């Protein structure tokens, strides 16, 4: 098949700058082949190389005594959880594909993150997601939303992994570019960690999985450019097509294969497909790799070397096998009825060599592709809109006179309302390890014996009991906060995630992040990115939650619709010491005392917690004002105090006070427990805020002052809890008593009573009604 001539126009079409192309010429000492040009294009894309973000990412804290595999080392980070057991976890985006083909884009996003887990040798045991869309009044947004949720449900349910938590937000900024961030967590023993390195000169290289097609062609490059109507139409072929049943077979085959000890290295064919898996494994090991494309299974006739190397067809793995063990490998592949082919060999040249049709079509130094991609220090400039944000004051905005109407409106807002329409489509109980399912502050799963991968015959741990572990996880980000103050918004994302873990009885172990931003060439966008990373890094240090890896997704903007709100999604994983410490957000028993840990209102904030709040957006139609500040030292003290109280056994419920403020938090605590399908347990409270010192009623009820948690305790424990909190330096206020079928709010303006069934109806059904 004839290849096109390498022209400046063709180079530009591959998103390589003239300077980058000059570097390619210097590396090769010649003009690249068409396939080599494509390889440099994808490997030097932002998606694969982080060429615009690498200097910023280096500011994250990545070290810790419990880190077994750190950020940037492999496909996923791994953290020790004790007794020789570890967890692997990571979050990644599939934004552009989901904007073009929502079902397959989201489905293959789930498939890709699952492969990142089992390629490390871990058994995937839990999944979560973080989703962002435009407003549901737009029929296009409803189509995207439905397609994405169906795609996530399809892949996760068919594969057999519980989707145990997540978040969904709606904002006009995401209208042209929805965000689909997928998280997965797996479990393994320390000695089962597998590296993605092509070790051992002379070792054979196997291709495992379905045949390569033209789907997903150059998807990594597609994800590293602005999304336009024209590019979306042209790049429908860059969206992969997933088969979750095939992935399940591949997963089980790989875990069984690893137990035999015949694997020298393994890597999934994710972004950039065969290209990435070959050059990265060689670069990590300091070896070379040579493959023959005629041996690669192909499901389309007359595929070019360019198409085979850049295809992102799903459910494929590259496995390096110890020489002499080929027959054992083939037996396992055949047992699972999986396509496979021996396609190459590890060499000592340090080069990635690809042959096709009897000739060499690629001959590139592997490390030059992976380790020497261009790195840019982009110009930064504070966003011009920040002057108006800082100047905003509440003067001229009428205070609420009907707080119950405001509360009802907030609870029915799609970003605040229950996401049951989403998570009811997910299987969150498969594998029987889910303890706290969607609907509370964080998900909690149980690690048990069958969570771990199979052991090799004769392993010392074979037949030994496995100590159960309880792992909590959450994903969080308030994009509005980050838009209005990237530094504080970044801090707030980590603080809220860690607060959700503390409310569930867990202490944080580590974090993973998905940095979703617009075009980094825009100095204001890059300023948002740099400042939010600064906030995330500072908060991760404060909470001793090192970053174990993640993903950067840039160029999230679409023509006249502009850029998304900056959305650095943070996933944090924690450990619950004992099963008795697992805590949920809903009220437990009538007569329990309701206590607020943290300030009722931050009086030093001129906006009293209403900057960037849901109340300001829903009631007043404004998205402005500096968001509430996060005092990290105070947050850390709050979390340690809360965990101490939980471990003492005195906390019966705990709920993070975030979007919608105190009133929304109290309402959710009154009706968020589900006792049967579509059947909530309604248990209200009488709350007395009549003595609170606050100049604005809506700030008292709906302000989003940070570092606050609503807990309930037995009456006999209330005095001790208030005293211990004060001794720890945590403000604590007795708010009222649990009981009844109403939420009663006593405020300086008077007393307001809300029927829980009425409030719950709007909160529970809001999204479903919008999707009818």
pLDDT digits (tens, 9 = 90+) for 361-408: 999 999 999 988 999 999 999 999 999 999 999 999 999 999 999 999
Q: Is the pLDDT of residue 218 over 80?
A: no
The whole-number pLDDT of residue 231 equals 57
Q: What is the 3-state secondary structure (H, E, C) of 131-156?
A: EEECCCCCHHHHHHHHHHHHHHHHHH
For residues 657 and 706, the answer to whether their CB atoms sit within 8 Å is no
Q: Is the pLDDT of residue 612 over 60?
A: yes
Nearest to 166 by CA among 566, 477, 518, 539: 477
77: confidence class by pLDDT, cuts 50, 70, 90: very high
Nearest to 34 by CA among 302, 217, 305, 219: 305
The whole-number pLDDT of residue 238 equals 58
The whole-number pLDDT of residue 732 equals 98
Q: Is the pLDDT of residue 353 over 90?
A: yes
Over residues 730-763, the pLDDT tens digits come to 999 999 999 999 999 999 989 999 999 999 999 9
75: confidence class by pLDDT, cuts 50, 70, 90: very high
Over residues 470-506, the pLDDT tens digits come to 999 999 999 999 999 999 999 999 999 999 999 999 9
CA angle, 411 then 412 then 415, to 5°? 85
Whether 94 is a known active-site residue: answer yes
The whole-number pLDDT of residue 11 equals 96
Q: Is the pLDDT of residue 538 over 90?
A: yes
Nearest to 632 by CA among 536, 699, 563: 536
The whole-number pLDDT of residue 749 equals 87
Over residues 29-63, the pLDDT tens digits come to 999 999 999 999 999 999 899 999 999 999 999 99
Q: What percent of the chain has pLDDT over 70?
A: 97
241: confidence class by pLDDT, cuts 50, 70, 90: confident
**559 or 202: which carries more pLDDT confidence?**
202
The whole-number pLDDT of residue 58 equals 96
Compute the half-sphere exposure of residue 400: CA atoms within 13 Å on the CB side of its CA.
Answer: 28
Cα 460 to its chain centre, rounded Å, is 35
The whole-number pLDDT of residue 215 equals 80
Q: Is the pLDDT of residue 342 over 70?
A: yes
d(CA 397, CA 393): 9
The whole-number pLDDT of residue 226 equals 63
The whole-number pLDDT of residue 239 equals 78
The whole-number pLDDT of residue 678 equals 87
Q: For all residues of the chain together, what is the average pLDDT?
A: 95
The whole-number pLDDT of residue 237 equals 59
At 426, which helix (H) or strand (E)? none
Q: Is the pLDDT of residue 311 over 60?
A: yes
160: confidence class by pLDDT, cuts 50, 70, 90: very high
1: confidence class by pLDDT, cuts 50, 70, 90: low
- Single out the catalytic residue among 94, 96, 428, 655: 94
Least confident range from 157-166, 227-236, 414-423: namely 227-236
Cα 150 to its chain centre, rounded Å, is 18
Tell me the two tokens of residue 703.
Answer: 């302000």
Q: What is the pTM of this model?
A: 0.96
Q: What is the DSSP string of 357-400?
A: TTEEEEEEEHHHHHT------------TTHHHHHH--STTSPPP
d(CA 733, CA 689): 10
CB proximity list for 574: less than 8 A, separation 6 or greater: 442, 471, 472, 473, 498, 501, 504, 506, 507, 508, 509
- Single out the catalytic residue among 47, 96, 414, 581: 47
Nearest to 426 by CA among 245, 181, 103, 163: 163
Q: Is the pLDDT of residue 550 over 90?
A: yes
């Amino acid at each position: 098949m004839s290849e096109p001539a390498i022209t400046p126009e063709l180079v530009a079409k591959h998103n390589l700058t003239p300077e980058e192309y000059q570097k390619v010429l210097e590396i090769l000492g010649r003009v690249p082949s068409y396939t080599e040009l494509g390889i440099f294009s994808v490997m030097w894309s932002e998606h694969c190389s982080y060429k615009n973000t690498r200097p910023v990412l280096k500011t994250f804290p990545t070290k810790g005594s419990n880190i077994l595999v750190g950020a940037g080392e492999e496909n996923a980070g791994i953290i020790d959880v004790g007794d020789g057991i570890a967890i692997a976890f990571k979050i990644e985006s599939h934004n552009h594909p989901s904007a073009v083909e929502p079902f397959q884009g989201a489905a293959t996003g789930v498939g890709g993150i699952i492969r990142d887990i089992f390629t490390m040798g871990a058994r995937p045991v839990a999944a979560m997601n973080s989703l962002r869309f435009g407003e549901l009044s737009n029929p296009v947004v409803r189509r995207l939303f439905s397609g994405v949720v169906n795609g996530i449900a399809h892949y996760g349910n068919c594969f057999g992994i519980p989707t145990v938590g997540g978040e969904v937000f709606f904002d006009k900024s995401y209208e042209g570019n929805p965000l689909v961030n997928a998280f997965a967590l797996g479990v393994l023993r320390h000695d089962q960690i597998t590296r993605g390195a092509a070790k051992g000169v002379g070792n054979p290289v196997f291709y495992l999985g379905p045949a390569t097609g033209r789907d997903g062609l150059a998807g990594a490059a597609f994800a590293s450019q602005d999304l336009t109507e024209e590019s979306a139409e042209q790049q429908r072929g860059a969206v992969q097509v997933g088969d979750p049943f095939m992935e399940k077979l591949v997963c089980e085959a790989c875990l069984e294969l690893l137990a035999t000890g015949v694997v020298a290295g393994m890597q999934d064919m994710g972004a950039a497909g065969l290209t990435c898996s070959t050059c990265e494994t060689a670069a990590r090991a300091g070896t070379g790799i040579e493959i023959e494309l005629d041996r690669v299974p192909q499901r389309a006739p007359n595929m070019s070397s360019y198409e085979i190397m850049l295809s992102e067809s799903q459910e494929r793995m590259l496995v390096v096998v110890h020489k002499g063990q080929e027959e054992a490998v083939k037996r396992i592949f055949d047992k699972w009825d999986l396509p496979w082919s021996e396609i190459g060999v590890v060499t000592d040249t340090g080069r990635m060599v690809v042959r096709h049709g009897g000739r060499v079509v690629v001959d590139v130094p592997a490390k030059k592709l992976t380790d020497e991609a261009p790195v840019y220090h982009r110009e930064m400039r504070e966003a011009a809109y920040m002057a108006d944000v800082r100047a905003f004051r509440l003067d001229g905005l009428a205070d609420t006179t009907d707080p119950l109407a405001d509360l009802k409106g907030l609870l029915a807002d799609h970003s605040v309302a229950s996401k049951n329409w989403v998570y009811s489509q997910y299987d969150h109980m498969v594998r029987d390890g889910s303890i706290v399912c969607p609907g509370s502050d964080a998900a909690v799963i149980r690690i048990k014996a069958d969570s771990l991968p199979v052991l090799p015959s004769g392993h010392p741990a074979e037949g030994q009991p496995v100590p159960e572990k309880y792992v909590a996880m959450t994903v969080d980000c308030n994009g509005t906060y980050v838009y209005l103050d990237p530094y504080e918004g970044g801090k707030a994302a980590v603080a809220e995630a860690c607060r959700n873990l503390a409310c569930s009885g867990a202490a944080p172990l580590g974090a993973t992040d998905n940095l979703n931003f617009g075009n980094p060439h825009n100095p204001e966008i890059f300023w948002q990115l740099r400042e939010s990373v600064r906030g995330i890094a500072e908060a991760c240090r404060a909470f001793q939650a090192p970053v174990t890896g993640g993903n950067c997704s840039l160029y999230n903007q679409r023509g006249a619709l502009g850029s998304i709100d900056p959305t650095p999604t943070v996933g944090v994983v924690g450990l619950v010491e004992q099963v008795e410490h697992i805590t949920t957000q809903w009220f437990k028993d009538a007569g329990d005392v309701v206590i607020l840990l943290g300030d009722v209102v931050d009086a030093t904030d001129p906006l009293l917690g209403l900057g960037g709040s849901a109340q300001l957006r829903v009631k007043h139609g404004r998205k402005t004002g500096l968001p509430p500040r996060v005092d990290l030292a105070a947050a850390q003290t709050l979390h340690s105090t809360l965990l101490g109280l939980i471990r003492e056994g005195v906390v019966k419920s705990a709920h993070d006070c975030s979007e919608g403020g105190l009133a929304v938090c109290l309402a959710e605590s009154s009706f968020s427990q589900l006792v049967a399908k579509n059947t909530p347990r309604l248990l209200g409270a009488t709350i007395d805020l009549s003595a609170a010192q606050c100049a604005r009623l809506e700030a008292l009820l709906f302000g989003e002052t940070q570092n606050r948690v609503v807990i309930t305790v037995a009456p006999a424990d209330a005095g001790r809890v208030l005293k211990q909190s004060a001794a720890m330096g945590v403000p604590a206020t007795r708010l009222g008593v649990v009981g009844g079928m109403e939420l009663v709010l006593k405020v300086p303006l008077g007393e307001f009573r809300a029927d829980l069934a009425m409030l719950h109806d709007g909160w529970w059904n809001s999204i479903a009604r919008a999707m009818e």
